[in-house]
Structure 1
Amino acid sequence: MLDEHQITMPSIGLSYEMVTDSTLNAAKHAKALGAKYIMVAWIPHDSTFTIDDAKKAVADFNAAGKVLQQNGITLCYHNHGYEFVKYQDGTLFDYIVKNTNSGYVSFEMDMLWAFHGRANPAQLLREYPKRWKLMHLKDIRKGVANDLTGGTDIKNDVALGTGQIDIPKVLKAAKEAGIEHYFIEDESPDHAAQIPQTVKYLKSL
């Protein structure tokens, strides 16, 4: 279907379990679709993400990332908001970035989830400029309170430029960080109307 519609898929999203438990099979899936990146968007954890969860993820990502790299695939972890729990002089997200091997593990910035987790997306991009490869372009409805749950109603996905995030500031930082691929992601029931609005906004910047 991708070939039929002349669409390329630079990145494929797979589960944590598949990437860590069936790494070679994950690489096979990516190669079948022509993807050079495998993105993992959720680290299994209970209601609160802990340092033990982060340590396990670091070990698993380093191991899987090495195998994927040997097979021509780059592993990217996609932030989801819950990782911004305070830890030492930073957050558990900082711990993951600093303790994963930069040769094996990269990252995908999800601007909505970073913001919703009380982080600053532009600041994160500038803080770790060589670690980010991919980006989800999303905005969150005005008035929605931020938290560390890693979840919010899909109705809170809004067209870029109509929500709470300073999109131009984030995109400038993303360009400086060398983001390779940008994906518009809109899970709202109104996505069919919102995506053209998002595209028009992006073209206006």
Structure 2
Amino acid sequence: MVESAIQLYTLRNADVPFGELLERVADAGFDGVEFAYRVTDENPDAVRETLEEIGLAVAGAHVPIESFEEEFDDTVAFYETLGCDEIVVPWLDQEWFASREGLGSGIERLEALEDRLADRGITLHYHNHDHEYVALDEGNAEDNEEGIGDNEGGAGKEPHTGFHAFVERSEVDLELDLGFVLKAGDDPVELLRAVDGRCRLAHVKDVDIDSGELVPVGTGDLDLAGCADAFRDCGGEWLIYEWEGDDPLASLEDAAATMDELV
């Protein structure tokens, strides 16, 4: 069953106590939350108690990879206390996707963390932006695979990119950001179907293709219904709303209603 959540980065600047913020999310009608940043300033026991009281589930958390590489046990313990068993690395710099060597090293880095988290019962995901869609320099490699996103008609519409190669050559689960996929010139519906089974979390973000600007969900060019159908068909679990515009609290109920229609 697909459920709706909100990425709390959306509400990062809301000037209300964290507990009240969670209550507003629940009152708006979301099923769950995905944490980012601000939660690390809170008492995890108190946050979990609030979540249980108001009936919000934890869809996952965005955590910089460096937090695990520098303080693995403490970082894992914090999110375990929250009841979070889905961890998302939200960003790797473009350099990790621009060359064959960088891509290989980036995949090794993620898969090493994936193995350590799996030992604790936690699943790792990678969340894309559009900078991963850089042209991939394969050097002198002779095994430039065709597949997702190549010129012969994979999921993407651009030449083979670092992100498509990452999808092909790694086994890390994905949290596709559908708006950034579209912004990069790829087809979100086709990509969801191509990665069948690897994308249980997805960000619902919208973009105006002509301007290249991110816009409120439902006002841009993202095929919301098509994405929702593909996500459901491929075993997706959480569609996660995100909006980086002004005054997101004012549109919280409308956002929850939009997401409710998709799930």
TM-score (norm 1): 0.82
Partner of 2:180: 113
| 1:136, distance to aligned residue in structure 2 (A) | 1.1
Contact 2:94 2:134 in 1 (8 A): no
Contact 1:24 1:68 in 2 (8 A): no
1:66 lines up with 2:133 in the alignment: no
Partner amino acid for 1:197?
A: D
Partner of 1:3: 49
Task: Decide whether aligned partners of structure 1 residues 97 and 204 sit closer, same or farther in structure 2, where only a CA change above 3 A counts.
Answer: closer
Partner amino acid for 1:194?
A: S
Unaligned runs of 5+ in 2: 1-46, 137-143, 145-149, 151-159
Contact 2:175 2:203 in 1 (8 A): yes
| 1:32, distance to aligned residue in structure 2 (A) | 1.5
| 1:142, distance to aligned residue in structure 2 (A) | 5.9
| 1:197, distance to aligned residue in structure 2 (A) | 2.5
| Greater gyration radius | 2
Partner amino acid for 1:119?
A: D
Unaligned runs of 5+ in 1: 146-151
Correspondences of 1:8-157 after superposition (within 5 Å): 8-45=57-94, 49-51=97-99, 52-87=101-136, 88=144, 89=150, 90-100=160-170, 102=171, 105-141=172-208, 143-145=210-212, 156-157=214-215
Q: Between Structure 1 and Structure 2, how many residues are aligned?
A: 191
* Match for residue 171 of structure 1 among 217, 228, 243: 228
User: Which secondary structure state, in structure 2, belongs to the residue aligned with residue 118 of structure 1?
Assistant: coil
Contact 1:81 1:117 in 2 (8 A): yes
| 1:204, distance to aligned residue in structure 2 (A) | 4.3
Contact 1:20 1:60 in 2 (8 A): no
Partner of 1:149: none
Task: Decide whether aligned partners of structure 1 residues 184 and 141 sit closer, same or farther in structure 2, where only a CA change above 3 A counts.
Answer: same
Partner amino acid for 1:36?
A: D
Task: Decide whether aligned partners of structure 1 residues 44 and 34 sit closer, same or farther in structure 2, where only a CA change above 3 A counts.
Answer: same
TM-score (norm 2): 0.65
The percentage of counterpart residues that share the same residue type is: 25
CA distance in 1, matches of 2:106, 2:234: 24
Partner amino acid for 2:163?
A: F
* Match for residue 182 of structure 1 among 235, 239, 248: 239
CA distance in 1, matches of 2:125, 2:259: 24
Q: 4+ residue runs of structure 1 moved beyond 6 angstroms?
A: none
1:197 lines up with 2:246 in the alignment: no
Contact 1:24 1:67 in 2 (8 A): no
Partner amino acid for 1:173?
A: A
